[in-house]
Amino acid sequence: MTVNLVLIDALNLIRRIYAVQERPFLLNNELADNTKQQVLFNTAKACDQALAKIIEQLQPSHALAVFDSQAPCWRYELYPDYKKGRKKMPEHLAEHLADIQDRFMQQHVDSLVSEVDEADDLIATLAIKVALRGQNVTVISTDKCFLSLLSPNIQVYDYFNRRYLDEDYVVNKFNVKPDKLMDLWTLTGDNTNKIPGVAGIGQVTASKLLNQYGSIKAILNAKDLKHTISEKLAQHDEQITLSRKLLTLKVDIPLGFNLKDIRLTDENTFASP
């Protein structure tokens, strides 16, 4: 059978929905205790509706909601400042995730929660495995890291803006093609995850270098670079290696299940929350 697998970056979806539901109840940027249950109820209902719309719009044959591990992933061991300063998930929402997972399961969409890996790596591993078989994958996320996976068999869909983030989107936003994004962010850094790049090299310079030379390796081996660029790269040699490791998505995680385990039933086509 033809596989059309939908992989949902679950916390990306849930936290964005939660932020919308929380906003009307905030007072001085705080949520009163007596409104938390209402916000959680609204969030769970909206997540339920979002999943139903995703299934209705994309008509997947298989689907899976992928969650981050609760424990710090391997990237923190390499770089303790990874994601430093990022706003943490509210504790009351974290405690409510199991309820949302149960709601997803009522629509026959199972959840994958790893003990040690980030959802990004789990999604990348499964997407690549399925794509290598010539089958189709759609990642539901607004996280830019998945744009590096774009290929004829892997798409990225922004549920909130109802659009596919395709190669044209990448070129217009980053001025490089998807296969050069990891090199681009290695040079510029990734502020979202607090991964530093090469000081003094921004997106304009990085994209120009990559479009001219093709890769970081070719840039580092080039003999005709401007002295200022060569100097900056030489000063950040260790940082380049570290950032590349942090940015690279793992694609070899043992998953422990088969596609048939996450196949949707025919009734999903007509399911509603």
Q: What are the pLDDT digits (tens) for 161-193?
A: 999 999 999 999 999 999 999 999 999 999 999
- Architecture of the CATH domain 1-273: 3-Layer(aba) Sandwich (3.40)
Q: Is the pTM of this model over 0.85?
A: yes
Residue range 217-239: mean pLDDT, rounded: 94
Residue 266: band (very low, low, confident or very high) from pLDDT cuts 50, 70, 90: low
Residue 27: the pLDDT is: 85
Whole-number Å distance between alpha carbons of 160 and 17? 9
Q: CB-side exposure of 266: number of CA atoms within 13 Å?
A: 0
Q: Mean of the per-residue pLDDT values for the chain?
A: 93
In the chain, % of residues over pLDDT 90: 86
pLDDT at position 272: 39
Residue spans per domain, the chain: 1-273
pLDDT of residue 1: 72
Report which residue type is found at 53: K
The span from the CA of 60 to the CA of 5, in Å, is 6
Confidence tier at 92 by pLDDT (50, 70, 90) = very high
